[in-house]
Chains A and B, each alone.
Chain A
């Protein structure tokens, strides 16, 4: 079985940690993390990568549904293996039953998110520079209306100490309560080790990833559609 990993670079530390955990040496294509801002572009770029990835049995995606950005991907060249998660937050907090209630009023951070091109810290600084401190506060009050917490996820894949200070400072500026929660890379470990149970959608070559692939326990793929 030859596998090729297609991963969001926002999760680079976590994927590398998982490869270390599992001894996996599959090649990885890192996708620009800015793509998550535009699900249509994300879908188009991922499809290009799929179409160009010949000679593999499986393409392993370190992605969730990501704003439906993966819905509609066609398995043109190999089998697609995709975690059945809404996004990377659910992936990193894998196994928590309270995920829906946590994410309702929580803004999440990891090292990857804090270093992304358009991260929350940059957004805030951009607003201060462009509109002034007072207006920036107003903008973020509107943006984060109903949010209560700023959560740094300790995925064990990076040195957290450096990012605690940054996150705490940000929480003060944004008037959110700071917290740290322990996450994990279990789902990635399973993905890389071929443990594709009910937490994964397996789309056979020739199939398509559909919306309900992420929402139901069985994969709903459309075969022979193209």
Chain B
């Protein structure tokens, strides 16, 4: 069944994927099992894009399917359950001057599903808004997103503002965007960079384990 589901995701067969995920959840699969299968299919989609088989539109379609699954009731982290507490708090936003939100939204969804409390500030977020929200929420992690080249400058300004507010040692900072490299991450002063929402979530999980 898993192989068939991975294939359906890879082929971006929306109806089939949703039907199969619902059936797996009914049979008792955990949301984490589903996420793992989903990720494998998504990786295949990414590879096909890199091999020029798929278009950007297909990547977007993959994102749409991903979000659709995460929005199923069974996939949602039960934040109201007294047994479950938040894994950590993340202040998230697309940096000033950039309006791209696909990657940010996917990250927000999977982080929420994984038990993080996510404060999503939206797009075109100025540095002071990040600072304000960190203070207000006592966040553990800041997630900055952006795909335009100018986003790198905005990310650096955001981290500078966090440092100037005396908060740099209180938060871990991850920057996400397709064009980010270790080199640019070092330039902006982030702890980590990623161009993959799931890999970004793994980094955040690793950090919060250390925090606990």
Contacts and interface: CB of A to CB of B under 8 A. Distances in A.
Interface of A: 34, 37-39, 64-65, 67-68, 71-72, 86-87, 100, 103-105, 118, 122-124, 126-127, 130-131, 135-136, 138-140, 142-143, 145-147, 210-212, 214-215
A211 B187 contact: yes
Contact of A142 (B99, B102, B123, B187): B102
B126 interface: no
Contact of B55 (A65, A127, A135, A215): A127
A64 B12 CA distance: 34
B55 A211 contact: no
A212 B187 contact: yes
Contacts, number: 84
Contacts of B184: 68, 71, 211
B60 A143 contact: yes
Majority secondary structure, A binding face: helix
Nearest to B94: A146
Interface stretch (B19-27, B149-157, B201-209): B149-157
19 contacts: A67-B178, A68-B179, A71-B184, A104-B97, A104-B99, A104-B148, A105-B99, A118-B55, A123-B56, A127-B55, A135-B14, A139-B57, A143-B56, A143-B57, A143-B60, A212-B187, A215-B152, A215-B153, A215-B187
Nearest to B186: A211
B57 A140 contact: yes
B101 A145 contact: yes
B100 interface: yes
Interface centre among B57, B61, B102 (most CB of A within 10 A): B57
B56 to A, nearest CB: 6
A143 B63 CA distance: 10
Contacts of B198: none
Interface in B165-195: 178-181, 183-184, 187
A123 B179 contact: no
B60 to A, nearest CB: 5
Nearest to A147: B99
Pairs of residues from A and B, 4 with the lowest C-beta to C-beta distance, nearest first: A86-B149, A146-B99, A67-B179, A127-B57
B109 interface: no
A160 B124 CA distance: 33
Contacts of B97: 100, 104
B98 interface: yes
A123 B183 contact: no
A4 B157 CA distance: 38
Interface of B: 12, 14, 50, 52, 55-58, 60-61, 63-64, 97-102, 123-124, 148-150, 152-153, 178-181, 183-184, 187
A102 to B, nearest CB: 11
Contacts of A71: 181, 183-184
A87 B149 CA distance: 8
B57 A68 contact: no
A34 B55 CA distance: 11
B45 to A, nearest CB: 13
Nearest to A90: B149
Given A100-B97, A142-B63, A146-B101, A126 B55 contact: yes
A104 B146 CA distance: 11
B99 A136 contact: no
A86 B150 contact: yes
B179 to A, nearest CB: 4
A119 to B, nearest CB: 10
B181 A68 contact: yes
Interface centre among A37, A68, A124, A138 (most CB of B within 10 A): A68
A214 to B, nearest CB: 8
A140 B181 CA distance: 28
A104 B12 CA distance: 30
